[in-house]
Amino acid sequence: MNHIIKFLKNDDAIAVTEYALLVALIAVVLIAAVLTFGTNLSAWFSAKTSAITTV
């Protein structure tokens, strides 16, 4: 337990924790964007592909 407390009090540990939280936030935003727009983007690209191949 003391090792964890020493790690959290260390300035380097704080920076690592902040970067980890930032990476986690970016991952959540990317996942939400893919889930929200993924189907629409897939349909849009399919329509464009069909338009190109029929020309």
> 1-55, pLDDT tens digit by residue?
787 777 667 677 778 888 999 999 999 999 998 888 888 888 888 999 988 887 6
Q: Is residue 43 part of a domain?
A: no
Domain assignment of residue 8, given as a range? 1-34
Give the chain's domain count. 1
Q: Tokens representing 54?
A: 């029929």
Residue 29 lies in a domain: yes
Q: Among 2, 26, 53, which Cα is nearest to 18's?
A: 26
Does residue 49 fall inside a structural domain?
no
3 lies in some domain: yes
pTM above 0.95, yes or no: no
